[in-house]
Chain A
Amino acid sequence: MIPRNARFWTGAAAVIVLAVIVSLSRANEYFFFAGFVVLQSVVLATAWNILGGYAGYVNFGTAAFFGIGAYMAVVVINATGAPLAVQILAGAAVSGLLGLGTGLLTMRLRGIFFSIATVAIIFIAETLITNWRYVGGATGIQLLRPPLMEPFGSYTRMLFVVMAVLAVIAVSIARYIETSWIGRGLQAIRDTEEAAECSGVPTLKLKLFACTVSGALMGAAGAPLPMYLSFLEPASSFSLNYSVAALAGAIIGGTSHWLGPVIGAILLASVQQIVTVTIPGEINVLVVGVLLVVFVVAAPDGVLGLLRKLRGKLRRPRAPAESPS
C-alpha cells in the first residue's frame, strides 16, 4: 500500500511542479488559455464522478454548482476585493452547501427522477442570478484583473497553475474517497441500495456527503472563471454544456477509478479545444455528443475498461493452462 501511495503523491507533486515550470516558460499564451479549460474540465469530471460514478447518482446539475461558484467569486470581489484563494474557498463553500441542500431535497429520488431534479437546479440558480443586480444581472459584469503576481508573466498563466492545483486537490479527494470505507459504501449504494442499508451502510449520510463534496469541488472549479474571462454573465456561466462535459468526461474515461475522469476529461477537452480553433462554429459541442454516444455503445466502461480488456487479451496467450470455468 505504501509504495502505491508514495507513487501517487510523487505524481501529484510532479504535476504541480510541471505546471509551474511550463507557466514560467516562453510557451504561447494560447496554450494557457486552453490548458486552463482542460484542467477545469478535469476538476468538473472528477467532482461529478464522486456522486455519479461511485454512488451511481447521475447529476445533470454540474452547471449550477459551477456557475454558483463563479458568481460567489464575483460577490467576494464586489464586497471585499479579497484575493483568489478566498474567492475559491467561498465558491466551494456555497456550492458545497447547495450540494447538501440538493441532497436533502432529492435523497428520496432515485434513477432518472434524481437526474431530472438536478436539471431543475440549473434553471433555479440561473434565474436567481439573472435577477440579482449586485452581480450584474442579465447583462453581466465586467471585472478588472488585479495586478500581476510575481513570478508569473501573465494573469492567465497564474490561473493555469491555480487550476492545476485545484485538479490535483480534486483528484486526491476522489482517490481518498474511492479507497476508503466511504467509497466502499458508495459502491454498495450504486449496486443495491437496499442491501447496502441492511449491511449497516449509512446510505443517507454517505449520499449527502458525496453531494456536498461533489458540489464543493464544482464550485471551486467555477470560482476562477470571472478572472479568467474578466467578464461574467449568467447564460454562459450556467450553460448545460458544463453538465454534459463533466458527465461525458467521466463516462468516456471510466467511472470506476479516479484516473478515469482525468483521462476522459483531458481527452475530451483537448479534442474540443483543437476543434474550436480549427473548425468554425459550434462543432466542438457536437464532438462531446458523438464521443459520448460512441463510448456508451461501444465501451461502456470507458477508456479504462478498454485498457483493462486489452491487458487481459495480452495476458491470456501466456496463461493457456487456465481452465475455462
Chain B
Amino acid sequence: MALRLTIDGVEAGYGAVRALHGVSIGIGHGETVVLLGANGNGKSTLMKCVMGMVRPTRGSVTLELDGQTHDLTQLSTEQIVNLGVSMVPEGRRLFPKLTVEENLLLGAYRPAARAALARNLAFCYATFPRLTERRRQLAGSLSGGEQQMLTLARALMTEPKILLIDEPSVGLSPLLVTHTIDKIRELKERYRLTVLMAEQNFNQAIRIADRGYVIVHGRIEYEGSSREDLGNNELIHKLYLGI
C-alpha cells in the first residue's frame, strides 16, 4: 500500500490572524512523524488543515493513496475521514454524555468502518482492557487517562490509515503521558500505523518519533531526519531547555 501525506507551502489562519506561514512537511507510509513546538505555534492549525476543518489560504495538502492523489483542501472533513485520515483531537474531545461504547460506535461512522464494526470494537476492547470494564459508563465520568484512551480507541474505530494525534499529553500526569505514548508506540509497531503527532512534551515525543519537525511561530524551523538528529539539535535545546 502506497501512502503519502504531503503538506506544501500551507498558509492559514483565523480572520486577520495568520497562524501558518508556508509550512511544508511530508509523512510516508508506516512513519511516525512528530511536530514539536510550544503552545500557539500552529501545530493544531496544521492538523485542522489536514482534516479540512481549517481551509488554507495558500498551499496544498495532498494525500497519495494506492496510486491516487487526493487534494484534501477540496474535500469535506467527513470525506477526508472516509479516505482513512483520522484525528485524535486535543483536550480529549469526547462525547461526555454518551457511554464509552456509544463513543466507540460513533468512531465507526464512516460506511467502510461500519461494516467492520464488531471486529474493530473487539480490537479496541482488547487493546484497552480498561474500557471494557467501563463500557456502560458515561465518558464524562472517566478519569483523564481513561478519556485519552477512549479518544484514541474512537479514532481507531474509523480504521485509519493515517492517524493524527494532537497533543496527547495535555492535562495528563507524567505517568499517564508515558502510558499514552507507550500505547501509541504499541499501535504503531503492531499495526504499522502511520502517525503524525503534535506534541510539546519533547522528551516523550521523541521516544516514538522516526523523524520530526520543529515549528516556531507558524514556520518549520528545523527538520530532524532521525530520532538522534532531533535529540542533538541545538534549536530544540534552546527552546526546551533554555540553554
- Among A181, A184, A197, A199, chain B packs the most CB atoms within 10 A around the CB of A199
> Across the interface, do A200 and B95 meet the contact criterion of CB distance under 8 Å?
no
Task: Tell me how many residues of B have a C-beta within 8 Å of chain A.
Answer: 29
Query: Is residue A13 within 8 Å, beta carbon to beta carbon, of the partner chain?
Result: no
Bound-state Cα–Cα, A205 to B110, Å: 14
Q: Point out the residues of chain B lying under 8 angstroms from A187, CB to CB.
A: 95, 98, 102
> Across the interface, do B51 and A198 meet the contact criterion of CB distance under 8 Å?
yes
> Across the interface, do A199 and B98 meet the contact criterion of CB distance under 8 Å?
no
Contacts of B105-129 to chain A: CB distance below 8 A: 105-107, 109-110, 113-114
Question: Contacts A188-B106, A194-B89 given: A201-B95 contact, CB under 8 Å?
Answer: no
Which of B89, B98, B114, B157 contacts A181 (CB under 8 A)?
Answer: B114
Query: Is residue A283 within 8 Å, beta carbon to beta carbon, of the partner chain?
Result: no
Task: Tell me how many residues of A have a C-beta within 8 Å of chain B.
Answer: 19
Query: Is residue A29 within 8 Å, beta carbon to beta carbon, of the partner chain?
Result: no
Chain B minimum-CB-distance residue to A189? B95
Q: Point out the residues of chain B lying under 8 angstroms from A200, CB to CB.
A: 77-78, 81-82, 86, 109-110, 113, 158
Question: Contacts A200-B77, A200-B158 given: A188-B93 contact, CB under 8 Å?
Answer: no
> Across the interface, do B109 and A185 meet the contact criterion of CB distance under 8 Å?
yes
CB distance from A184 to the nearest CB of B (A): 6
Contacts of B66-112 to chain A: CB distance below 8 A: 76-78, 81-82, 86-89, 93-98, 102, 105-107, 109-110
* Contact bitstring A166-199, B, C-beta under 8 A = 1, else 0: 0000000000000001001101100110111111
Bound-state Cα–Cα, A194 to B166, Å: 14
Query: Is residue B154 within 8 Å, beta carbon to beta carbon, of the partner chain?
Result: yes
| Sampled A-B contacts (15; CB under 8 Å) | A181-B114, A192-B93, A192-B94, A194-B89, A195-B93, A197-B53, A198-B51, A198-B81, A198-B89, A199-B154, A200-B78, A200-B109, A201-B78, A202-B78, A203-B78
Q: Point out the residues of chain A lying under 8 angstroms from B98, CB to CB.
A: 187-188, 191
Q: Point out the residues of chain A lying under 8 angstroms from B95, CB to CB.
A: 187-188, 191-192, 195-196
Bound-state Cα–Cα, A193 to B94, Å: 10
Residues of B contacting A: mostly:
mixed
Q: Point out the residues of chain B lying under 8 angstroms from A196, CB to CB.
A: 95, 106
Bound-state Cα–Cα, A185 to B157, Å: 15
> Across the interface, do A199 and B81 meet the contact criterion of CB distance under 8 Å?
yes
> Across the interface, do A199 and B109 meet the contact criterion of CB distance under 8 Å?
yes
Question: Contacts A194-B89, A198-B51, A199-B107 given: A204-B76 contact, CB under 8 Å?
Answer: yes
Q: Point out the residues of chain A lying under 8 angstroms from B77, CB to CB.
A: 197-198, 200, 203
- Among B78, B94, B110, chain A packs the most CB atoms within 10 A around the CB of B78
Bound-state Cα–Cα, A204 to B78, Å: 10
> Across the interface, do A199 and B76 meet the contact criterion of CB distance under 8 Å?
no
Which of A188, A198, A205 contacts B86 (CB under 8 A)?
Answer: A198
Bound-state Cα–Cα, A199 to B150, Å: 12
Bound-state Cα–Cα, A185 to B107, Å: 10
Bound-state Cα–Cα, A10 to B45, Å: 53
- Nearest 8 pairs of A and B residues by beta carbon: A200-B81, A195-B93, A191-B95, A202-B78, A200-B110, A200-B109, A197-B77, A198-B87
CB distance from B221 to the nearest CB of A (A): 28
Give 5 new A-B contacts, CB below 8 A, not counting A198-B89, A199-B107: A187-B95, A187-B102, A192-B94, A192-B95, A200-B109
